[in-house]
Structure 1
Amino acid sequence: MATITTPRLILSPFRPADWNFFRALREDASVMRYIGSLAAEKDNRLLFATRLNAPHTFVVRTHADSTALGDIGLRISPQHRDEADIGYMFIPQAHGKGIASEAVRALCEYAFTQAGVNALNAWVLAENTGSVRVLEKCGFVRTQMLEKAYEIDGVHYDDWAYRLESTAC
């Protein structure tokens, strides 16, 4: 499995030792408020097990510190192997420091040059202004708005679709 490096970051495959980070990230209500309901530990364990063996999924750390800051990955479509969805989440201490933008740019480059992908799609809630900024700074273009299409804990949110094609880079 690949490791991706940037001037500040290392994106490395998940290891069993990343479980505590993974669980804490998904139990943080401030992180999950734009992603989904808090899940039971058994469900998070199942999700973590898939991350351990999934290609194109990474834990993000800085070169200077081994503390995990977030996770990021691609899900390549089985029907359209030249497209993938990109997803990411970061601890609150990493917000507003350009870490997500740097990691997303690095993963986009990896997707286009090593994973055989020609287009990336991202879904973000309209209220998640930080993630919207990250996607737009990285060249993603909003292609669709689905009104009140995503539900978290009984609340409906507008869901925005973004796309980046390799020709745009």
Structure 2
Amino acid sequence: MDVVLDSISAEELVWLRSLEDKDGFDTMTCRPIRLRSREEKLKLYQSALDEPNTVILGLWTSDKKYLIGKLTASDWNPRNHSMEIGYYLCPEWRGKGYMRSALQTFCRMLFLDQGCNKIMAQTGAFNVSSIRLLESCGFRRDGVLRQHHEKDGILYDDFLYSLLADECIKPLESRE
């Protein structure tokens, strides 16, 4: 089954966040977690969806019957034309190549439609599946934030990754 990237509502983002929370989202981010009510989350997500320099798309089955994840790009830097990405895929859909395909499409869209030159990602050194995903999509490890990510009382390193437009677009165009 193919997947498509398409619009997503604040309600759908709240639903996905509830799945992320059950899935241990608080351990997969190094940023502080703030508990919010459903209404606060709706307001926050609607604000993010309305932000012109943020891109949030749902990852849907090709028939648009099931929402199975999301991809986000934010923190637009107009000086170097960069954005930071994040992603989430529901557990039952993992390991089938859906996120890899979606992330490649998403990055190409950010380069071609949003004018990005660089896309960045950050992940914990313990998050092997995220590291494999990024590297399989051509991201390069730029650096390490030492003891930056607390998980279960242990401080882990965080890895910084980036993908440049000319590393993504030209190789794809040369195959066409």
1:41 and 2:36 are equivalent in the alignment? yes
Distance 2:47 2:24 in 1: 24
The residue that corresponds to 2:18 in the other structure is 24
Task: For 1:19-168, list aligned pairs within 5 A.
Answer: 19-35=13-29, 39-42=34-37, 44-54=41-51, 55-80=54-79, 82-152=81-151, 154-168=153-167
1:66-111: per-residue Cα shift (whole Å, max 9, x none)? 2211110111424535111111111111211111111110111001
Q: How many Å apart are 1:156 and its aligned residue? A: 1.9
Q: How many Å apart are 1:62 and its aligned residue? A: 1.1
Larger proportion of helix: 2
Conserved 8 A contact 1:122-1:162: yes
1:107-155: per-residue Cα shift (whole Å, max 9, x none)? 1100111000011111011111111111001000001011211235644
Distance 1:79 1:166 in 2: 15
Normalising by structure 2, we get a TM-score of: 0.80
Residue 46 to residue 40, structure 1, CA distance change in 2 (3 Å): farther
List 4+ stretches of structure 1 deviating above 4 A: 36-39
Q: How many Å apart are 1:64 and its aligned residue? A: 3.1
Q: Larger deviation: 7-16 or 107-116?
A: 7-16
Distance 2:58 2:115 in 1: 21
Gap runs ≥5 in structure 2? 169-176
**SS of 1:14 mapped into structure 2:** coil
Residue correspondences, number: 163
Distance 1:45 1:153 in 2: 29
Please, what is the CA RMSD of the aligned residues?
A: 2.3
Distance 1:152 1:45 in 2: 27
Distance 2:59 2:36 in 1: 22
Distance 1:149 1:16 in 2: 30
Normalising by structure 1, we get a TM-score of: 0.83
Q: Which has the larger radius of gyration?
A: 2
Q: How many Å apart are 1:26 and its aligned residue? A: 3.2
**SS of 2:48 mapped into structure 1:** helix
**SS of 1:77 mapped into structure 2:** strand
